[in-house]
Amino acid sequence: MATSLPALPGSRTDPDGSALVRVLSYNIRSMRDDTHALARVISACDPDLVLLQEAPRFFRWRKKLARLARATNLVILTGGATAAGPAILCNLRATVERTEDVLLPLTPGLHRRGFATAVVRFGGARLGVLSCHLSLEKNERYEQGGMLLDRLAGLGTPHAVAGGDLNERPAGRTFRRIADGLQDCWATAPWGSEYTSTPTDPHQRIDAIFATKGIEVLGCGVPVNQLGITGADLRAATDHLPLLAALRIPAS
């Protein structure tokens, strides 16, 4: 297992037009915890894309999400209440082609779920992006896994990434359904820690980042040894641990 995430050069663009991109997936529990610790963790990961789950979606949700973006030197790409929780932040490397927030079918008695999606460019690399938070109910979750694959394919990009809180471990049928069609980034190039839940007792992997087959996964895992991240901040920020991936996206 790799001991450190591959260093990414300042330009993060190769001569052949491919782009090195850091993708962070993070359930932030509606920013109900220590938002300063949360901002420090995200900033230390130096992400190009942040796939959030449980972004603020009620009273003054836009202002709360904008405050987090400012504190981490990022901008809001899409999502929040309009996607029922998932959201995407990005840095200024990303050129945005389009965004779309998708609300999934509502099962009576269960929470509304949705996807935050976008198409972006990093230099010569064109990338579809999706953030998700799947259902706690296993049958609904399985259907949402199929919708995720369909939505990702429907973005019309040669390469795509998806990340989020699956509410399921790798042996579960929904996790397997998604991993059958995409690369499970941690399983492809494990780095750091595997388990994302809980910060005080990490014992299960229920969060994941997936990539289409043409993307090179350089490393993926919980950034427990990342410079600038402390155990205290990870425990204080939210009730999940973040998942960070370094990816090489081919030129489109």
Specify the pLDDT at position 225.
85
Specify the pLDDT at position 214.
96
| Phi (first) and psi of residue 42, to 5 degrees | -60, -45
Strands 87-90 and 49-53, bridge-based pairing: antiparallel
Residues 6+ apart with CB under 8 A from 182: 149, 152, 162, 210, 211, 212, 213
Q: With beta carbons less than 8 A apart as the criterion, state whether 183 and 151 touch.
A: no
- Can you read off the two tokens belonging to residue 216? 């090179």
Q: Tens of pLDDT along 154-174?
A: 999 999 999 999 999 999 999
| Phi (first) and psi of residue 190, to 5 degrees | -65, 135
Q: With beta carbons less than 8 A apart as the criterion, state whether 178 and 232 touch.
A: no
Task: Find where tokens 């471990």 sit.
Answer: 169
| SS3 readout for the chain | CECCCCCCCCCCECCCCCEEEEEEEEECHHHCCCHHHHHHHHHHHCCCEEEEECCCCCCCHHHHHHHHHHHCCCEEEEECHHHCCCEEEECCCCEEEEEEEEECCCCCCCCCCEEEEEEEEECCEEEEEEEEECCCCHHHHHHHHHHHHHHHHHCCCCCEEEEEECCCCCCCHHHHHHHHHCEEHHHHCEECECCCECCCCCCECCEEEEECCCCEEEEEEECCCCCCCCHHHHHHHCCCCCEEEEEEECCC
Nearest Cα to Cα of residue 121 among 77, 154, 165: 77
- Can you read off the two tokens belonging to residue 169? 């471990």
Q: Name residues of the chain where pLDDT drops below 70.
A: 1-11
Specify the pLDDT at position 15.
75
Q: Domains plus CATH for the chain?
A: 19-249 (3.60.10.10)
Does the model's pTM come out above 0.75?
A: yes
